Amino acid sequence: MPTLWHCQGVSLTHAPAGAVRQGSLRELNLALVLGRIAAAERPPSRADLATATGLTRATVSAVVEDLLAGQLVSESDPAPRSGAGRPARGLVLADQGPAGLGLEVNVDYLAVCVVDLAGEVRHRTVHRADLRPVAPADALAQLVEMAGAARDDAADQGLTLVGAALAVPGLVDDAGLVRLAPNLGWQDVPVPALLAEHPPLIEQVPGVPALVVDNEANLAALGELHSQPPGPSSFLHISGEVGIGAGIVLDGALFRGVRGWSGEIGHLPVHPEGRPCRCGGQGCLEQYAGQEAIVAAAGLVRAELPADTATARLAELAEAGDADALRALHDAGTALGVAVAGVVNLLDLDTVVLGGGYAALAPWLCPPVLAEIGARVLTAAWSPVTVRPSTLGAEAAAVGAAGSVVRRIVAQPAGWLARAG
Amino acid sequence: MPTLWHCQGVSLTHAPAGAVRQGSLRELNLALVLGRIAAAERPPSRADLATATGLTRATVSAVVEDLLAGQLVSESDPAPRSGAGRPARGLVLADQGPAGLGLEVNVDYLAVCVVDLAGEVRHRTVHRADLRPVAPADALAQLVEMAGAARDDAADQGLTLVGAALAVPGLVDDAGLVRLAPNLGWQDVPVPALLAEHPPLIEQVPGVPALVVDNEANLAALGELHSQPPGPSSFLHISGEVGIGAGIVLDGALFRGVRGWSGEIGHLPVHPEGRPCRCGGQGCLEQYAGQEAIVAAAGLVRAELPADTATARLAELAEAGDADALRALHDAGTALGVAVAGVVNLLDLDTVVLGGGYAALAPWLCPPVLAEIGARVLTAAWSPVTVRPSTLGAEAAAVGAAGSVVRRIVAQPAGWLARAG
């Protein structure tokens, strides 16, 4: 069985063309039943699935046998039942079998995680280091090493990695080329080709791309969208790291823009004639509310801080009432609020999620953000806006990346089953 | 037949519930055939329509007879035909029969127009005056008087007004209440109730709301979207008057936001600690690129200018090389460019249309807007953005409003035919 680091993505949104063959009918039924199990609030019985899908009991039973044999679902404790008779056993997504690998390269950390079908994070490693002086090939080599350890840990837990998604803080084209990641200093980095030089970690199955490269703010927003319990279907998710990116979720889908470059909130000009930015512009939000700007404003010297402690140290100082840290966070929150107020005036979103490094700083960022919204958003008086930290914390992008792989497996389970058989 | 100024809007997007009755099948066929005629690039023959719709020739002929009898379509010159035989006559949307009334109240003008089924503007009146000192009821009374003259002119041309849409420069709720129009000074103005105090001008037919009230920037953007020849399906349309509003069109549909308040680009903060704005905020785009800001920066005294000449006078001075006017337009274009660059970074749109008063000032506004995009948009180097004036000019909102009525008639022609019968 070939294992690859990269392949062309395949469309999951179209049914097979032409007449429905026996094989493809089975594929559709597998996806239909597995999708119902994934979406159910309580573990459904076979009878529940027959009702929900309109398939016959016999068909559901046959499909469930296939899913059980292929380690895609398992049987849970009996589902509670109000009527008479023996309680039926419920079906849940398996905690063994196929899993997704989530990867992230950011300015000051590398992150790797493994997420199982049920959405549980089964492995997580974060390595904090300043990646700016590191060549892209070397940064990716470090990430591959971490991913190898993750693969081994996953195997020990009965999990097989069948796809990977990599989050980068920049603009990525359809072929996985990183056109520009200004804070990393990456330009036109052919990530799939660089990863292909390493031994493969992924067991490829039909229907699941071995590697997808995407913007980290997009993947973090998708992670938030699919986190439990479900939140609103439209929101702005802001990833606050050294750079600041946003994922715009509208009606349950990521809005990518006309050419896929949406979400660059970090380069909204908040002081048009202000500080120069790495992007070539001036007065961009990042220069006032990016992690380095906050650290500097708090009087901390970034070079003297271990890479993993900048955000934690800020939170610690603010907690202790340090005036410089509190002022720095207030000013950053005000700049962030100016940009967010602009976005809300423009898009009329009612929920703003502070993710990435912002999640841990939310107690100090939320009040000035809300103050700017109150002062600047035309509809604020009668249409309140909620601002809250991400539930996924700082590694949301890696978790969102792995989750995006898992959703592809659930949407097209026949590929995995063909391999298992 | 009752004629009303206001009624509840009806949904046009859902097919009738339950089994398809004979009556509703006819309704669907009427809409199907009329929609094809409206969308065709060349006048289709009955045979073309049968091919395009999948209906039988006999059904198409019967439907076309109904549409002809009801003044919804007429026969044009013979369609060119490459094959053998007598050329068939083509069908076009009628230039008589039902029409839409477009209305606009803006800060310094009232506008009324009538658009026929084919999208032609058949009547247009603009009355320039400062509406800020005028009570909402009085402004609407003036508008009704203009609309009465428009109705009479339309009747002389064989047109019957079957619905109206009113554009206002502010936030409108689903019931037509203008929650806030800061530049007009309107707050919680019950427009439908105020209009209902006047004699009706609209002949109500099923399926077409007698009155819809909407944001002017939204209606102007819809006007641009449906103008000929068709442009891109995603763009930002900016209405630059005393206030500045935007309509965001994504994939051929207006993006209204979670609660319908999207598009307030005029309140994007371009100098967060700058000039106070009527909205209560500070440094909003309107304070630097709104019509009054440009007029003042050019050294003109607004009160000394007749209301209809502010934009024209600016263009005249700029044309003549007046240094103050050129600097004022350059500075306004720069402020506008800062805001537009933010929107493009956020939404990744590749087309920006300058509408309203900006259309006539585009020769001087476009260069600084493009310069800011070039300097501030992360993807500008490889993903160019087009900035161009609106094809509809200053009264785009009224034309867009009337066009929105016409599209409802085309989508649901049975209502008009029932009345005609």
Residue-wise over A50-61: b if at least 16 C-beta within 10 A, else e? bebbebeeebbe
Task: Give residues with Cβ within 8 angstroms of A8, minimum separation 6.
Answer: A209
Tokens of A399: 């978790």
pLDDT band at B89 (very low <50, low <70, confident <90, very high): confident
Determine the average pLDDT of the residues in A376-383.
Answer: 89
Residue B261 shares a structural domain with residue B276 = yes
H-helix or E-strand containing B150? helix B136-156
Amino acid at A319: E
Average the pLDDT over each of A229-238, A294-303, B18-27, B156-165 and give the range with the smallest value. B18-27
**What is the rounded CA–CA span in Å between residue B98 and residue B151?**
12
Of A46, A66, A93, which closes a domain? A93
Residue A366 shares a structural domain with residue A237 = yes
Are B114 and B100 in contact by the 8 Å Cβ rule? The answer is yes
- Please answer yes or no on whether B345 and A265 come within 8 Å at the CB atom: yes
The answer to whether residue A5 sits within a structural domain is no
Tokens of A164: 């990977």
Q: Find where tokens 């020849």 sit.
A: B229
pLDDT of residue B309: 78
pLDDT band at B82 (very low <50, low <70, confident <90, very high): low
Number of helices followed by number of strands (H, E) in chain B:
13, 15
| B74 phi and psi angles, rounded to 5 deg | -140, 170
What is the DSSP annotation of B305-316?
A: S-GGGHHHHHHH
Distance from CA of A68 to the nearest CA of B (A): 40
| DSSP strands (E only) in B56-158 | 73-78, 89-93, 97-105, 109-116, 121-128
The answer to whether residue B145 sits within a structural domain is yes
CATH of the domain at B47: 1.10.10.10
Determine the average pLDDT of the residues in A233-244.
Answer: 93
Residue B281 shares a structural domain with residue B360 = yes
The answer to whether residue B15 sits within a structural domain is no
pLDDT of residue B206: 87
**A211-215 and A159-168 as β-strands: parallel, antiparallel, unpaired?**
parallel
CA angle centred on A198, ends A194 and A201, rounded to 5°:
115
Determine the average pLDDT of the residues in A271-281.
Answer: 91
H-helix or E-strand containing B212? strand B211-215
**What is the rounded CA–CA span in Å between residue A79 and residue A241?**
43
Of A69, A93, A117, which closes a domain? A93
pLDDT band at B279 (very low <50, low <70, confident <90, very high): confident
Task: Give residues with Cβ within 8 angstroms of B153, minimum separation 6.
Answer: B114, B122, B123
Residue B33 shares a structural domain with residue B107 = no
Asked if residue A261 has pLDDT above 70, the reply is yes
Residue A119 shares a structural domain with residue A47 = no
CA angle centred on A102, ends A100 and A106, rounded to 5°:
175
A162 by Cβ neighbours in 10 Å (0-12 / 13-18 / 19+) ranks as: buried
Asked if residue A279 has pLDDT above 90, the reply is no
Interface test with chain B among A347, A349, A351, A352, by most B beta carbons within 10 Å:
A347
Greatest Cα pair distance in chain B: 74
Residue-wise over B156-190: b if at least 16 C-beta within 10 A, else e? eeebbbbbbbbbbbbbbeeebebbbbbbbbbeebe
Per-window interface: A 164-183 vs B, CB < 8 A: 171, 179-180, 182
**What is the rounded CA–CA span in Å between residue B359 and residue B365?**
9
User: Which range of residues forms the domain containing residue A74?
Assistant: 22-93
pLDDT digits (tens, 9 = 90+) for A331-365: 999 999 999 999 999 999 999 999 999 999 999 99
Are A209 and A8 in contact by the 8 Å Cβ rule? The answer is yes
Determine the average pLDDT of the residues in A282-298.
Answer: 95
CA angle centred on B304, ends B323 and B301, rounded to 5°:
40
Tokens of A362: 């939310």
Domain count along chain A: 3
The answer to whether residue A225 sits within a structural domain is no
pLDDT band at B19 (very low <50, low <70, confident <90, very high): very low
Distance from CA of A400 to the nearest CA of B (A): 21
DSSP β-bridge partners for residue A250: A253
Task: Give residues with Cβ within 8 angstroms of B269, minimum separation 6.
Answer: A270, A338, A341, A342, A376, B281, B282, B283, B284, B285
Enumerate the H helices of B348-394 as residue ranges: 358-376
Tokens of B421: 């019968």
pLDDT of residue A17: 38
- Please answer yes or no on whether B281 and A376 come within 8 Å at the CB atom: yes
DSSP symbol at B158: T
Determine the average pLDDT of the residues in B80-99.
Answer: 78
pLDDT of residue B298: 94
H-helix or E-strand containing A48? helix A46-53
Residue A109 shares a structural domain with residue A87 = no
Share of residues in chain B with pLDDT > 90 (%): 75
Residue B199 shares a structural domain with residue B268 = no
Amino acid at B404: S
Average the pLDDT over each of A9-13, A412-416, B181-185 and give the range with the smallest value. A9-13
Of A93, A123, A154, which closes a domain? A93
**What is the rounded CA–CA span in Å between residue A138 and residue A145?**
11
pLDDT digits (tens, 9 = 90+) for A212-229: 999 999 999 999 998 878
pLDDT of residue A301: 78
The answer to whether residue B16 sits within a structural domain is no
Residue A234 shares a structural domain with residue A379 = yes
Asked if residue A113 has pLDDT above 60, the reply is yes
**What is the rounded CA–CA span in Å between residue A6 and residue A12?**
17
Determine the average pLDDT of the residues in B292-312.
Answer: 82
Return the CA Rg of chain B: 23
DSSP β-bridge partners for residue A187: A180
Are A398 and A102 in contact by the 8 Å Cβ rule? The answer is yes
CA angle centred on A95, ends A92 and A99, rounded to 5°:
115
Are A213 and A8 in contact by the 8 Å Cβ rule? The answer is no
Q: Which residues of chain A does B180 touch, with a Cβ-Cβ cutoff of 8 Å?
A: 378-379
- Please answer yes or no on whether A378 and B349 come within 8 Å at the CB atom: no
- Please answer yes or no on whether A346 and B263 come within 8 Å at the CB atom: yes
Distance from CA of B351 to the nearest CA of A (A): 10
Asked if residue B186 has pLDDT above 90, the reply is yes
The answer to whether residue A8 sits within a structural domain is no
Residue of A nearest to B255 (CA): A347
Determine the average pLDDT of the residues in B208-224.
Answer: 94
Residue A279 shares a structural domain with residue A197 = no
pLDDT digits (tens, 9 = 90+) for B20-61: 455 688 899 999 999 999 999 889 999 999 999 999 999 999
DSSP β-bridge partners for residue A74: A92
- Please answer yes or no on whether A180 and B261 come within 8 Å at the CB atom: no
Q: Is B246 on the interface with A (CB under 8 A)?
A: yes
CA A243 to chain centre: 17
Residue B209 shares a structural domain with residue B295 = no
pLDDT of residue A164: 97
CATH of the domain at A238: 3.30.420.40
Q: Find where tokens 């990695």 sit.
A: A161
Are B77 and B139 in contact by the 8 Å Cβ rule? The answer is no
CA angle centred on B373, ends A280 and A379, rounded to 5°:
110
Tokens of B322: 């007046």
Spatial strand order of the sheet with B244-250 comes to: B253-255, B244-250, B235-240, B351-356, B386-389
Residue A237 shares a structural domain with residue A376 = yes
**What is the rounded CA–CA span in Å between residue A397 and residue A167?**
6
The answer to whether residue B299 sits within a structural domain is yes
Determine the average pLDDT of the residues in B189-213.
Answer: 93
Are B219 and B180 in contact by the 8 Å Cβ rule? The answer is no
The answer to whether residue A211 sits within a structural domain is yes
- Please answer yes or no on whether A378 and B279 come within 8 Å at the CB atom: yes
Share of residues in chain A with pLDDT > 70 (%): 90
Residue B54 shares a structural domain with residue B116 = no
Helix (H, G, I), strand (E, B) or coil at B155: helix
Asked if residue A420 has pLDDT above 60, the reply is no
User: In this predicted model, which residue has the larger pLDDT, A3 or B140?
Assistant: B140
